Amino acid sequence: MDIQNAGDLGSLIRKKRKEDGLTLHDAAAICGVSHVFLSALENGKETVQLNKVLQVTACLGIEIHAQPRGWKARDTQA
């Protein structure tokens, strides 16, 4: 899945948590974050802390891969 914004990542985390049969409170406790933080993350809040985001994704077994890209402008001609 391509992650384009905070909402995409939040949706992925929520989907994985639910597939694992975890409540928001249970997943937060297992991952060592507050349920308020996890809720904000799942709802796409853009001000969450990256270290905690990575902690949650690792805890839930979600792998994140980054692909570098160039800054060359796309060809806009049809």
- Which one is predicted more confidently, 41 or 48? 41
Percent over 70 (pLDDT), the chain: 91
Tell me the pTM: 0.80
Mean predicted confidence (pLDDT) in 49-65? 93
Evaluated on CA atoms 34, 39, 40, 41, the torsion sign reads: positive
